[in-house]
Amino acid sequence: MLQQTQVATVIDYYNKWMKRWPTLEDLSKATLEEVNEMWAGLGYYSRGRRLLEGAKKVMEELGGQMPQNAESLLKQLPGVGRYTAGAIASIAYNKVTGLVDGNVIRVLCRLRIIGGDSASQPVQDSLWQHAERLVDPDDPGDFNQAMMELGAVVCTPKNPDCNNCPLKNYCKAYSQVQKQKQENGKKLVTNGKSGDDNTVLDIECADGCQLCFTESDSYDESLGVMNYPRKGRKKEAREERTAVCILCKRCSDNSTKYFIAQRPKKGLLAGMWEFPSLQLESEDANAELGEIIRKYGVSLSSSKNRIQVGEVVHIFSHIHQTYVVQAVIIDDSDVEHEVVEDATEPTTRWVTKEKFMEAAVSTAMKKVFKAFEGVMDQKSKVNKKLKPKDDPKDLRKQRAIDSFFKPKSKTEMKQIYMN
């Protein structure tokens, strides 16, 4: 849960998860639908699916026994990578094995002034070699947790606390900064003249070394130790536009239901529920509306109550997604045909708002629904303003029709004769 997600966000999810599935055996009996519902809103949904797959494999194929060393964990459990295998083996089973996560990468790159792209294979191989050599054979779990904690609270990405770092006397990046300060001090004394080479990199390496700064990179003196680790250019997220149709049905029992469909079992947001959607090949979302609805076996007698909701943007880790949202408001009688599926595992359903919010629905779809509700609320306010209202003051001034036929008093009759 903590991978790519902040601790504050994870806490509630973790507590709910452990309350429902306190053991591997309990989790192995869950369905993907139940796991997705529990994980909804946390993002990176493949993590929940992999946890379920791993639990099922342990219980069904490994006799309920978890592999206890990094190699077996890596080979036998789906979704377990090198870092997770090292963490489980060292922390849970006290096996002597290192681990490398984002915090450890930062600590090691600064300790050894590794200036190559931290995501490149040569740098990754070097970091894992360092981690395996450094790990304490007596307390590997504590050591690995200490390395991660050091990177999280002391050797931080910005404004690291180098003066209080227990490794500063071993840190080449820190030594590099101190040397540069000495060089700058000498320049002040000699009016900027110095016979020494001003090169800051003092690591011995062979030609073509992939662990050092490349020719296109340069050491920024103002950054100091924050020159490390070096990250390559981040791949830009691809742009996608998707037409979304919110099919809203006013039922005969005065309830309101929404049509949702389940995504394929593999791929992005696998097994999650969403409003009918279709990736746009052109800019005309209106032309796609009928196709979206027909795609799920629903045909309508009318789409007169079509509402343009607008665009909703959601950024996934590798996709910049723009949802072009429309809504169609219908009654029970407007549904001419609907495919009836096997009730044991339906991939479409009509749900109330409450059931929609409880279902395995992504954050993106909840944003779409929120935008829809905002538009509907605005329309409701406009309609209330346009509706004519009777002014109580005007009503007081108007005479009831029967008042014209009431007998007049003697005073009123006297005034009539006098006039």
What is residue 203's predicted lDDT score, i.e. its pLDDT? 47
State mean pLDDT over 99-122: 94
Chain centroid to CA 204: how far? 43
Domain check: are 150 and 246 in the same one?
no
Residue 346 near residue 293 (C-beta atoms within 8 A): no
State mean pLDDT over 285-300: 69
- Residue 143 CA to residue 139 CA, distance in Å, equals 6
CATH of the domain at 302: 3.90.79.10
In which domain, by residue range, is 89 found?
Answer: 7-227
Q: Is residue 398 part of a domain?
A: no
- Of residues 186 and 198, more confidence is placed in 186
Tens of pLDDT, residues 24-68:
999 999 999 999 999 988 888 889 999 999 999 999 999 999 999
Domain check: are 46 and 105 in the same one?
yes
Chain centroid to CA 287: how far? 30
Angle at 400 between CA 394 and CA 403, to 5 degrees: 135
Q: Is residue 152 part of a domain?
A: yes
Q: Is residue 397 part of a domain?
A: no
Q: Which of 169, 195, 227 is the last residue of a domain?
A: 227
Domain check: are 325 and 379 in the same one?
yes
- Residue 288 CA to residue 328 CA, distance in Å, equals 13
Q: Is residue 2 part of a domain?
A: no
Domain check: are 245 and 197 in the same one?
no
What confidence tier does 292 reach under pLDDT thresholds 50, 70, 90? Answer: confident
Domain check: are 325 and 300 in the same one?
yes
Amino acid 304 reads K
Domain check: are 363 and 242 in the same one?
yes
What is residue 175's predicted lDDT score, i.e. its pLDDT? 95
Q: Is residue 405 part of a domain?
A: no
Strand partners, 330: 249
Q: Is residue 326 part of a domain?
A: yes
Phi and psi dihedrals of 368, rounded to 5?
A: -60, -45
Q: Is residue 410 part of a domain?
A: no
Q: How many CB atoms lie within 10 A of CB 272?
A: 23
Please identify which residue in the block is written with the tokens 């681990």: 99
Tens of pLDDT, residues 218-258:
788 899 999 999 987 777 888 999 999 999 988 888 899 99
Domain check: are 185 and 304 in the same one?
no
Domain check: are 247 and 185 in the same one?
no
Domain check: are 212 and 253 in the same one?
no
Domain check: are 68 and 197 in the same one?
yes
What is residue 297's predicted lDDT score, i.e. its pLDDT? 67
Domain check: are 211 and 258 in the same one?
no
Helix ranges (DSSP H) in 275-349: 286-295
Least confident span in 70-79, 107-116, 148-157, 264-273: 264-273
Does the structure show a pLDDT above 60 at 391? no
> What is the number of domains present in the chain?
2
CATH of the domain at 38: 1.10.1670.10
Q: Is residue 331 part of a domain?
A: yes
Domain check: are 125 and 221 in the same one?
yes
Q: Which of 227, 257, 275 is the last residue of a domain?
A: 227
Q: Which of 193, 227, 261 is the last residue of a domain?
A: 227
